[in-house]
């Protein structure tokens, strides 16, 4: 295994120390290994995780699919795809208010994803008119 030296801001190290002290991670090394692997999985879906107990640690941290998708962003995550499916389902059924409610509760009106979802909903309204 390679050894690498990295400098972190003091406040970041203090937060990591607190996580180790609270028992969330066995050691600072475990935190750093997990963090690096987790970011690599965000960047490269084909990344092969080598960190011992990675899935167990991820499970204990309770990182939801939605949290994971938010970290990836709309173009790489599954939440936006789920949102498209949800808006499409409501649009096909003519339940436009439910689709609007979904969009309004999950997105800021200036978000690119919000604008795309509203355009999608508009296509279903146009088909029914």
In terms of domains, do 114 and 60 share one?
Answer: no
Shared domain check, 109 and 84: yes
The domain of 65 spans 8-70
Average pLDDT over residues 11-17: 92
- Residue 70: pLDDT band (50, 70, 90) is low
For 124, residues 6+ apart whose C-beta sits below 8 A from its C-beta are 88, 91, 92, 94, 96, 99
Q: What is the pTM of this model?
A: 0.51
Cβ-contact 90, 98 below 8 angstroms: yes
Q: Which residue has the tokens 């030296």?
A: 5
Residue 109 has which token pair? 């009106």
Residue range 20-59, pLDDT digits in tens = 999 989 999 999 988 888 888 877 778 899 888 888 888 8
Same domain, 88 and 63: no
In a shared domain, residues 39 and 87: no
Residue 37's pLDDT is 87
Cα–Cα distance measured from residue 56 to residue 20, given in angstroms and rounded to the nearest whole number: 16
CA distance 9 to 27: 18
Mean pLDDT of 9-13: 89
Domain limit, last residue, from 70, 85, 105: 70
Q: Is the pLDDT of residue 117 over 90?
A: yes
């Amino acid at each position: 295994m390679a050894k690498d030296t990295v400098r972190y801001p003091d406040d970041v190290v203090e937060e990591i120390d607190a996580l180790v002290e609270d028992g969330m991670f066995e050691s600072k090394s475990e935190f750093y290994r997990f963090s690096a692997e987790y970011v690599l999985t965000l960047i490269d879906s084909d990344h092969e995780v080598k960190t011992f107990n990675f899935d167990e640690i991820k499970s204990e941290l309770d990182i939801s699919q939605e949290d994971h998708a938010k970290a990836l962003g709309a173009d790489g995550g599954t939440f936006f795809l789920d949102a498209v499916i949800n808006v499409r389902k409501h649009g096909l059924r003519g339940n436009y208010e439910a689709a609007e409610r979904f969009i309004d509760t999950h997105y800021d009106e200036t978000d690119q994803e919000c604008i795309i979802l509203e355009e999608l909903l508009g296509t279903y309204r146009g088909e029914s008119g």
